[in-house]
Amino acid sequence: MQVRREKAERLADEELMPLVGGKDPEAFEVLFDRHGGAAFSLAYRIVGDRAAAEEVTQEAFISVWRSGARFDAARGSVRSWLLSVVRNRAIDFLRSRAGKAPKLTFDDDAVLEHRPAAERTEEEALRRETAGELRGAIGKLPGEQSKVIELAYFGGFSHSEIAQMLNLPMGTVKGRMRLGLEKIRGELAEGLA
């Protein structure tokens, strides 16, 4: 059943998904209009190139269209589901460019080394050193704290989306984030002393 665009625009994301699954172009267009910008932004942060981010975003939305929109409301919001599809496509893109599948964290130096760089400067060296220290500090955190920090800062998810994804109360997510960030600050401050 094809709905008119005006009606589709009034539907919540969860109500659009069955229509997208039924290949309704109006519903799909509304879904893209609502989430395409966030999807592109996440893809760009991961792949670091505008054209590649556009390609990743397009492939992610095409896979949503072709798959019949296998969205499960019990696992989180439509937005967090779509962004996880985009994230996975972006990681696949980086792996295919690297020629091999390195163990990939959100901003892994092994993958970044395969990206062309204009030139290696002191600023770039300092950035890499700081990123390494930050990754080391995150790696020392308990798993539940590092997970929420990575999802928020590297995955681009909000506190409420993380709470839905992990099936946790919002207060628990915020508490883990606060404790983890305090430990990271302490760890980095020790490194400076």
Residue 60 to residue 43: CA distance in whole angstroms: 10
121-187 to CATH, choices 1.10.10.10, 1.20.140.10, 3.40.50.300, 1.20.58.1030: 1.10.10.10
Summarize pLDDT for 95-144 with one digit per residue, the tens: 777 654 444 455 555 555 555 555 556 666 666 676 677 777 888 888 88
Residue type, 23: K
What is the predicted pLDDT for the residue at 112? 52
Q: What tokens does 104 get?
A: 């990939």
Instruction: Identify whether the C-beta of residue 181 lies closer than 8 Å to the C-beta of residue 153.
Output: no
Instruction: Identify whether the C-beta of residue 150 lies closer than 8 Å to the C-beta of residue 106.
Output: yes
Fold of 1-116: Rna Polymerase Sigma Factor; Chain: A (1.10.1740)
Summarize pLDDT for 152-174 with one digit per residue, the tens: 777 677 888 788 777 889 999 99
> 5-17: b or e for each residue (b if 16 or more CB lie within 10 Å)?
eeebeebebeebb
Entry pTM: 0.50
Q: What percent of the chain has pLDDT over 70?
A: 76
What are the extents of the domains in the chain?
1-116, 121-187
Q: What percent of the chain has pLDDT over 90?
A: 7
